[in-house]
Chain A
């Protein structure tokens, strides 16, 4: 098979990126990096949508990716505004120092 890539390769790449996103989300302590890990997971899911869109020869997967991108843009705008407000009130970006709901 010189000129074709198996579908599973695309899906495995997507799984690897998603796992990296989960790892970043769980292990990192900087609120902005946690937010970027979420974007990484969204990108991984987009790759799966596009791969299946190609595999099934339907354009619908790409429409879903388009909507995911729009939602990601809205999420980034609101999320970063929230981060700004948190920083204004607490003067920190460490998520374990913002724990007033826990104590």
Chain B
């Protein structure tokens, strides 16, 4: 059951990921990206990370992607124009990417051979309780610093949007 679910959602993620790169219209890319994030949330569930899967759907597929779609709508972004890429990059780019991917897969497969398997239900630390415990004890300082970062981001966004107005 595990490998079947993994393969189905991995296939959805990869196909939608390719779609993100190939679509010329940004709104199509954004919808494909939402699809990638949804299937990744299912894969997180398979890995026992319930809390992160929920956050993935709410924050990533929800909040961040709504921001993207909102910006695309606001700017009325149409299909992108083709630019004159160099011949070298056109000829070498895709084969180099495939070669990099093949090499990475080979290294990963050699480094972690088959017996090191991940079984659904083996790992029960992904609940909101254990994640919350770790965040508020071991990782309390990084967590508080993150809140400062978010505050700075709010100020930056407001400042930029304010300049936008006048």
Query: Which of chain B's residues 6-20 have a Cβ closer than 8 Å to chain A?
Result: 6, 10, 13-14, 17-18, 20
Chain B at the A interface: SS class: helix
Q: Known contacts being A8-B111, A16-B101, A83-B71, is A54 close to B80, with CB within 8 Å?
A: no
**Residues B17 and A16 in contact, CB atoms below 8 Å apart:** yes
Chain A CB within 10 A, most for which of B104, B130, B138: B104
- Contact with A81, one of B72, B112, B135, B160 (Cβ below 8 angstroms): B160
**Residues B108 and A62 in contact, CB atoms below 8 Å apart:** no
In the complex, how many angstroms separate the beta carbon of A63 from the nearest chain B beta carbon?
A: 5
Interface size class for chain A? 35 or more
Interface size class for chain B? 35 or more
Query: Which of chain B's residues 90-113 have a Cβ closer than 8 Å to chain A?
Result: 93, 97, 100-101, 104-105, 108-109, 111-113
Residue of B nearest to A26 (CB): B93
**Residues A39 and B64 in contact, CB atoms below 8 Å apart:** yes
Digit string of A31-53 for contact with B (CB within 8 Å is 1, else 0)? 01101110110010011001101
CB-defined contacts of A46 to chain B, threshold 8 Å:
40, 52, 56
- Interface residue? A98 (CB, 8 A): no
Residue of A nearest to B145 (CB): A67
Q: Known contacts being A13-B10, A78-B153, is A40 close to B20, with CB within 8 Å?
A: yes
**Residues A5 and B6 in contact, CB atoms below 8 Å apart:** yes
Q: Known contacts being A30-B77, A78-B156, A84-B71, is A65 close to B52, with CB within 8 Å?
A: yes
Alpha-carbon distance between A4 and B85 when the two chains are bound, in angstroms: 44
CB-defined contacts of A17 to chain B, threshold 8 Å:
13-14, 17, 36
In the complex, how many angstroms separate the beta carbon of A96 from the nearest chain B beta carbon?
A: 5
Alpha-carbon distance between A58 and B134 when the two chains are bound, in angstroms: 10
**Residues B52 and A50 in contact, CB atoms below 8 Å apart:** yes
- Contact with A80, one of B33, B67, B135 (Cβ below 8 angstroms): B67
CB-defined contacts of B131 to chain A, threshold 8 Å:
59, 62-63, 66
CB-defined contacts of A62 to chain B, threshold 8 Å:
49, 51-52, 125-126, 131, 134
**Residues A40 and B36 in contact, CB atoms below 8 Å apart:** yes
Alpha-carbon distance between A22 and B66 when the two chains are bound, in angstroms: 23
21 A-B pairs with C-beta separation under 8 A: A3-B119, A6-B118, A12-B104, A15-B104, A20-B14, A22-B97, A23-B93, A27-B93, A36-B30, A46-B40, A54-B49, A59-B134, A60-B138, A63-B139, A69-B56, A71-B146, A77-B153, A78-B160, A83-B75, A84-B160, A85-B160
The 4 closest A-B pairs by CB, nearest first: A74-B153, A4-B117, A81-B160, A30-B80
